[in-house]
């Protein structure tokens, strides 16, 4: 599997080299060497520390990460004639492979440090506090170091490096939700009244969902980050549902988010604009203005058609932010519908393996965590891919593994590490009972 992923990435890198650089550049060989080294390291770590883990998770994630390295290399190699610069600089492309190495480092660290997923349950409230702090941090900081494209979602160090703490907050909060819900799930599931065939929870048990709702709305209002807010809310509601099996939570959560988002679209300019772009992207004012990015992304995908222009053959540089939020459209332009379907299926497979793990694993905390993490990954892919393909309003969140950016990449690798750990726990054969001849009596029934 890993060999296949490696071969694919090597071929793609060579393709970019021949199309854009007129030959095989030395840089590509270095990229490949580093990529091979870190992927091998991850493989050995899995063999050593999680031998029973699902064998598909690592190769799939590694392939996505490899494609991202190829795309960043490709984007940095072509100058946009309109601006005189490529979409990202060569050093930013180099950073992508550096962050891949850091991400895999974190992957290994998680496997080494967390031998048993249940230990995380002990830190339910600590993780919750850390998560909320990470989310709130950019909102509290001055805009000069936290605002980017109208949303306050990052912390800037110096002029070059930025961290998006929410990429890590999501993981901490997922673990925290899991711990909380395992403790409270019986009371949440059973207490309450039944109205019109729907089990309504008790008012005082509404506390946590109200809190999550409020938090996600605050995110919307203070950080103007509708995408992440949707992912948080969705994550919490899905985990509540998994824990309690009660549809009322789903309905309630969904309703509250829709109401909140609708209100925000009326009150917060940034959010309102997003809806307008989604509904009317091709009006002349929007095409050259607000919806330029979305529309150029769509044009890129359209020009790619079924098989794409080939890596290096398209003009993804026309689309603003093609390296991060709209990286999916760059793939659409260059490897076409066939490539995009493959990428979506890879994501689907990772999510499916995660959910399978959740069903297999015995311990309720691990079940919730695996289910939550898998659903979060699915939701994130849905929000961003749905956004750039105009299925839903476009909101700026990262595409896991593919987007340029260290936080997202490292966060995604930690998520995969957790899933690998959980699947190892789930699939580990039960310890062999010690056979003591004298104690066991064989009774023959006839």
Partner 1 sequence: MNRSLRRISIAVLVMFVLLLVNVNYLQGFDAANLASKPGNSRAFYAAQNQYQRGSIVTSDGKVIAASKLSSGNDSIKYQRYYPSGPEYAPVTGYYTIFGATGIEAAKNSLLSGNDSSLDVRKIIDLITGKTTKGATVQVTVNSKAQDAAWNALKAQGKPGAVVAIDPRNGQILALASYPSFDPNDLAIHDGAKLNKIDNRLLKDKAQPLLNRALQGTYPPGSTFKIVTSSALLTQSPSTTINTNVDSPTTLTLPQTQHILHNDQGEVCGDGSGQAPLITAFAQSCDTTFAKIGIRLGANALNDMAQKFGMNNADLTIPLPVAKSNYVIPASQALTAFSAIGQFSDTVTPLQEAMFAAAIANNGTLMKPNLVKQVTASDLSTVQATSQSELSQPVSPSVADSVKHLMLAVVQQQEGTAYAFRQDVTGVEIAGKTGTAETGEVSLNDAAFTSFAPFANPDIAVGVIIQGGGYGASAAAPIAVQVIKAYQQAVGNQ
CA angle in degrees (0–180, nearest 5) for 197-200-205: 165
What is the smallest separation between the CB atom of 306 and partner 1, expressed in angstroms?
Answer: 6
Indicate which single residue of 4, 11, 52, 282 sits in contact with partner 1 (rule: CB under 8 A). Answer: 282
Q: Assign 355 to helix, strand or coil.
A: helix
Long-range interactions of 344-350: CB distance < 8 A, separation 24+: 344/381, 344/385, 346/60, 346/63, 346/64, 347/64, 347/377, 347/378, 347/381, 347/400, 348/378, 349/56, 349/60, 350/56, 350/57, 350/60, 350/61, 350/374, 350/377, 350/416, 350/419
Q: Determine if 397 is a binding residue for partner 1 (CB under 8 A).
A: no
Stretch that binds partner 1, among 165-173, 213-221, 261-269, 311-319 (CB under 8 A): 311-319
Given candidates 165, 332, 396, 406, which one binds partner 1 under the rule CB under 8 A? 332
Which of 6, 99, 241, 257 contacts partner 1 by CB under 8 A? 241
Q: In whole angstroms, how close is the CB of 178 to partner 1 at the nearest point?
A: 11
User: One symbol per residue from 367 to 396: x for binding partner 1 (CB under 8 A), - otherwise; what is it?
Assistant: xx--x--xx--xx-xx--xx--xxx-----
Q: Does 364 bind partner 1 (CB under 8 A)?
A: yes
Pick out residues in 57-86 that bind partner 1 (CB under 8 A).
78-84
In the list 141, 156, 348, 427, the residue contacting partner 1 (rule: CB under 8 A) is 348
Listed as own residue / partner, the contacts of 146-152 with beta carbons closer than 8 Å and 24 or more positions apart are 149/321, 149/396, 150/224, 150/270, 151/223, 151/224, 151/225, 151/270, 151/396, 152/222, 152/223, 152/224, 152/225
Give yes or no for residue 288 binding partner 1 (CB under 8 A). Answer: yes
CB-side neighbour CA atoms (13 Å) of 107: 30
Q: Which of 375, 371, 395 is CA-nearest to residue 384?
A: 395
User: DSSP class of residue 156?
Assistant: E
What mask, x for binding partner 1 by CB under 8 A, covers residues 84 to 113? x-----------------------------
43 vs 356 by CB, closer to partner 1:
356
**Site for partner 1, rule CB under 8 A:** 78-84, 238, 241-245, 282, 284, 287-288, 292, 295-296, 298-306, 314-315, 318, 332, 336-337, 340-341, 344, 347-348, 351-352, 355, 358-359, 364, 367-368, 371, 374-375, 378-379, 381-382, 385-386, 389-391
């Amino acid at each position: 599997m890993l060999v296949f992923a490696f071969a694919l990435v090597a071929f793609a890198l060579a393709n970019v080299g021949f199309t854009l650089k007129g030959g095989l550049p030395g840089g590509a060989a270095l990229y490949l060497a580093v990529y091979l080294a870190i992927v091998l390291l991850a493989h050995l770590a899995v063999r050593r520390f999680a031998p029973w883990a699902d064998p598909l998770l690592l190769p799939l994630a590694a392939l996505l990460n490899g494609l991202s390295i190829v795309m960043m290399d490709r984007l940095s190699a072509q100058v946009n004639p309109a601006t005189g610069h490529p979409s990202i600089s060569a050093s930013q492309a180099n950073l992508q492979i550096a962050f891949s190495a850091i991400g895999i480092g974190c992957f290994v660290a998680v496997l080494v440090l967390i031998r048993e997923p249940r230990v995380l349950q002990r830190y339910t409230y600590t993780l919750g506090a850390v998560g909320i702090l990470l989310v709130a941090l950019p909102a509290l900081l001055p805009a000069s170091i936290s605002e980017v494209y109208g949303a306050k979602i990052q912390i800037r160090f110096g002029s070059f490096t930025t961290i998006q703490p929410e990429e890590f907050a999501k993981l901490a909060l997922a673990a925290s939700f899991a711990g909380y819900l395992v403790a409270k799930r019986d009371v949440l599931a059973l207490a309450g009244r039944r109205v019109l065939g729907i089990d309504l929870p008790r008012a005082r048990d509404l506390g946590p969902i109200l809190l999550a709702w409020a938090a996600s709305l605050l995110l919307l209002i203070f950080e103007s980050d509708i995408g992440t807010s949707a992912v948080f809310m969705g994550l919490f509601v899905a985990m509540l549902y998994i824990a309690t099996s009660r549809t009322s939570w789903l309905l309630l959560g969904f309703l509250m988010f829709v109401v909140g988002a609708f209100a925000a679209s009326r009150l917060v300019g940034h959010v309102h604009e997003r809806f307008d772009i989604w509904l009317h992207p091709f009006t002349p004012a929007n095409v050259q203005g607000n919806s330029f990015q979305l529309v150029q992304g769509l044009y890129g995908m359209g020009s790619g058609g079924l098989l794409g222009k080939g890596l290096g053959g398209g003009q993804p540089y026309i689309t603003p932010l093609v390296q991060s939020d709209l990286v999916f459209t760059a793939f659409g332009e260059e490897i076409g519908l066939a490539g995009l379907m493959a990428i979506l299926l890879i994501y689907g497979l990772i999510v499916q393996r995660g959910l399978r793990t959740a069903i297999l694993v015995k311990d309720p905390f691990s079940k919730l965590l695996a289910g939550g993490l898998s659903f979060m990954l699915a939701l994130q892919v849905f929000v961003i891919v749905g956004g750039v393909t105009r299925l839903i309003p476009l909101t700026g969140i990262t595409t896991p593994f593919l987007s340029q950016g260290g936080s997202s990449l490292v966060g995604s690798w930690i998520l995969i590490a957790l899933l690998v750990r959980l699947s190892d726990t789930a699939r580990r054969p039960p310890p062999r009972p010690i056979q003591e001849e004298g104690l066991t009596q064989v009774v023959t029934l006839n």
